[in-house]
Amino acid sequence: MTVTGPAYTKPSHALMYNYYLGGKSWSGVDAQAAIEVVRSSPDVPAVARENFRFAGRAAAWAVKHHGIRQVLDIGVGIVHDIPDDGVERCVRAVAPQAMVLGYDIDPVVLAHARAWRPGYGGVLRGDIRDLDSIFNHRDAADLIDPTAPTVVVAAAVFHFVSKPAAVMAELRERLAPGSVVIVSHATSTGTEQSRVDGMTESYDETRSPIRFRSEAEIRALADGWDIVTPPGLAPVESWSVDGTYQRGPYETVRVVGMAARAGAERVA
């Protein structure tokens, strides 16, 4: 299924991501932008797939290991036509009764969710830059218990956010002790500057410009959190707590991920 119309004259990073993952829910303008990115960084589709797998793998680990039974997948995107298992399926495989609730701000994502994902816990309009839109959403009031630990998935989201540290700090204030945040982010560390420049330029033409950050900057997003170690901050293609998942490495673009747990006491 493709989408067209005057409202979508600029590429959407969510639909470009669907293109990288092998889906069909993109328009011509999204495909054109994605092809330009791949020209500058040929590994992007492979890394996107590994990022998608990382999100599901890490969320399932957190749910199983910590007994958490509610998951917020922020920036859920369009994944109904993706061959790999995403967050929902991976979580439900280890905890069939878990509540998995998605959030996104892209109107095309929300339209697809209504049409294709009636069995999902729900996909609601929510912006990670405005956590009130997520935690105070009226349609989530009976689905999520704010006093219980939660897994929050923010995979490939923060590199579209100008102040991710502020978001992480606010998440610490809002989430119950024992909650886990899953983060992945494109990094300039170990990525050729020409690749960074090429992708940045391509995404400047989209609705969501991308920002590469160093591994040190990404690790610092978890200040005040307990980063799960091993594996710590690691490439998404090799992130696993037991060290059994190993792919790559990739040459033209790097995305790193981590799981970070809220401490025993809620931040005042």
Tens of each residue's pLDDT in the chain, 268 residues? 344 433 567 899 999 999 999 999 999 999 999 999 999 899 999 999 999 999 999 999 999 999 999 999 999 999 888 989 999 999 999 999 999 999 999 998 998 887 765 544 578 999 999 999 999 999 999 999 999 999 999 999 999 999 999 999 999 999 999 999 999 999 999 999 999 999 999 999 888 899 999 999 999 999 999 999 999 999 999 999 999 999 978 888 999 999 999 985 443 3
Q: What is the CATH number of the domain that holds 54?
A: 3.40.50.150
Residue 199 lies in a domain: no
pLDDT of residue 186: 97
On whether residue 164 sits in a domain, the answer given is yes
pLDDT of residue 119: 47
Does residue 60 sit within a domain?
Answer: yes
Tokens of 205: 């033409």
Residue 65 domain-assigned (yes or no): yes
Residue 48 has which token pair? 């996107």
Domain tally for the chain? 1
Report the DSSP beta bridge partners of residue 151.
71, 180
- Examine residue 239 and state whether it is found in any structural domain, yes or no: yes
Residues in the chain: 268
Q: 20-55 as b/e, with b when 16 or more CB fall inside 10 Å?
A: bbebebbbebbbebbebbbebbebbbbbbbbbbbbb
- Per-residue pLDDT at 8: 60
Torsion of CA 17, 208, 173, 215, to 10 degrees: 70
**What kind and span of H or E run contains 128?**
none
pTM for this predicted structure: 0.93
Residue 148 lies in a domain: yes
Full domain range(s) for residue 95: 42-190+210-261
The reply to whether 93 falls in a domain is yes
CA separation (Å) from 111 to 41, 53, 104, 178? Answer: 30, 24, 11, 33
d(Cα 12, Cα 203) in Å, to the nearest integer?
9
Residue 4 lies in a domain: no
The reported pLDDT for the residue numbered 5 is 38
pLDDT value at position 241? 97
Helix-helix angle 28-40:193-203, to 10 degrees: 170
